[in-house]
Structure 1
Amino acid sequence: MKQKNTLLDTYTLMNGINIPKIGLGTWFIPDDEVAAAVCKAVEIGYRHIDTAQAYENERGIGKGVRDCGISRQELFITTKLAAELKTYEEAAQAITGSLEKMGLDYIDLMLIHSPQPWTDFRGGDYAAGNREAWRALEDAYKAGKLRAIGVSNFQEHDIENILSSCTIKPMVNQLLAHIGNTPATLIEYCRKNGILVEAYSPVAHGEILKSEEVQAIAEKYQVTVPQLCIRYDLQLETLPLPKTANPAHMLENIKVDFEISEKDMEILKSIKPLKDYGEYSSFPVFSGK
Structure 2
Amino acid sequence: MTNAAPTMTLNNGVEMPRLGFGVFQIPDDETTAAVTSALEAGYRSIDTAAVYGNETGVGRAVAESGIPRDQLFVTSKVWNSDQGYDNTLRAYDESLAKLGLDALDLYLIHWPAPANDLYEETWRALEKLYSEGRVRAIGVSNFQPDHLERIIKDDGVVPAVNQVELHPAMQNREVAAADTAYGIATEAWSPLAKGAVLGDDAIVAIADRHGKTPAQVVVRWHLQEGRVVIPKSVTPSRIAANIDVFDFELTQEELAAIDGLDGDGRTGPHPDEFNG
- TM-score bucket (shorter structure): over 0.9
1:212 equivalent among 201, 205, 211: 201
* Contact persistence 1:176–1:285 (CA under 8 A): no
With over 3 angstroms needed to count, the CA separation of the structure-2 counterparts of 1:180 and 1:286, relative to structure 1, is farther
With over 3 angstroms needed to count, the CA separation of the structure-2 counterparts of 1:272 and 1:199, relative to structure 1, is closer
Q: Residue 101 of structure 1 corresponds to which residue in structure 2? A: 98
1:284 is the counterpart of 2:269: yes
* Contact persistence 1:88–1:135 (CA under 8 A): yes
What runs of 5+ residues in structure 1 fail to find an aligned partner?
Answer: 117-122, 278-282
Q: Residue 188 of structure 1 corresponds to which residue in structure 2? A: 177
User: Equivalences for 1:54-73 in 2 at 5 Å?
Assistant: 54-73=51-70
Query: For the residues of structure 2 that align with 1:37 and 1:286, how far apart are their CA atoms?
Result: 28
User: Equivalences for 1:22-171 in 2 at 5 Å?
Assistant: 22-116=19-113, 124=115, 126=117, 129-165=118-154, 167-171=156-160
* Contact persistence 1:58–1:98 (CA under 8 A): yes
Q: Structure 1 counterpart of 2:226, which letter? A: E
1:70-99 residue CA offsets vs partner (Å, 9 max, x unmatched): 111111000011023331111111111111
1:133 deviates by 0.4
Query: For the residues of structure 1 that align with 2:272 and 2:203, how far apart are their CA atoms?
Result: 22
Query: For the residues of structure 2 that align with 1:130 and 1:166, how far apart are their CA atoms?
Result: 16
* Contact persistence 2:143–2:271 (CA under 8 A): no
* Contact persistence 2:179–2:185 (CA under 8 A): yes
With over 3 angstroms needed to count, the CA separation of the structure-2 counterparts of 1:196 and 1:107, relative to structure 1, is same
State the Cα RMSD in Å: 2.1
Query: For the residues of structure 2 that align with 1:55 and 1:238, how far apart are their CA atoms?
Result: 23
Query: For the residues of structure 2 that align with 1:287 and 1:222, how far apart are their CA atoms?
Result: 41
* Identity between Structure 1 and Structure 2 (%): 38
Q: Structure 1 counterpart of 2:241, which letter? A: E
* Contact persistence 2:199–2:214 (CA under 8 A): no
1:144 deviates by 1.9
With over 3 angstroms needed to count, the CA separation of the structure-2 counterparts of 1:286 and 1:203, relative to structure 1, is farther
TM-score (norm 1): 0.88
1:244 equivalent among 223, 233, 242: 233
Q: Mean Cα displacement is larger for which, 85-94 or 57-66? A: 85-94
Query: For the residues of structure 2 that align with 1:286 and 1:96, how far apart are their CA atoms?
Result: 26
Q: Structure 2 counterpart of 1:220, which letter? A: R
Query: For the residues of structure 1 that align with 2:211 and 2:10, how far apart are their CA atoms?
Result: 33
Query: For the residues of structure 2 that align with 1:4 and 1:34, how far apart are their CA atoms?
Result: 21
1:253-274 residue CA offsets vs partner (Å, 9 max, x unmatched): 1121221111221221111425
Query: For the residues of structure 1 that align with 2:258 and 2:133, how far apart are their CA atoms?
Result: 41
Q: Structure 2 counterpart of 1:183, which letter? A: N
* Contact persistence 2:170–2:266 (CA under 8 A): no
DSSP-derived class of the 1:284 partner:
coil
DSSP-derived class of the 1:84 partner:
helix
Task: Count residues in correspondence.
Answer: 273
1:93-112 residue CA offsets vs partner (Å, 9 max, x unmatched): 11111111111100000000
* Contact persistence 1:78–1:108 (CA under 8 A): yes
